[in-house]
Amino acid sequence: MQTIIKTLFVGAILAIGTGTALAADSVVGTWKLNLAKSTFSPGPAPKSQTRIYAESAQGLTLTLKTTAADGKESTATLSFKDDGKPYPASGNPDFDMVAVTRVDASTVHSTQTKAGATVGTGVRTVSKDGKTLTFAQKGTHAGGGKYDDVSVYDRN
Complete domains list, the chain, with CATH: 2-155 (2.40.128.20)
**Quick one: what percent of the chain has pLDDT higher than 70?**
83
Calpha distance 87→107 (Å, rounded): 19
Contact 155, 30 (CB under 8 A): yes
Calpha distance 128→34 (Å, rounded): 18
pTM of this prediction exceeds 0.95: no
Sequence letter at residue 126 = V
Strand residues in 28-106 grouped as ranges (E): 29-33, 39-41, 48-56, 59-67, 73-80, 83-88, 97-104
Over residues 21-48, the pLDDT tens digits come to 334 457 889 999 999 999 999 989 999 9
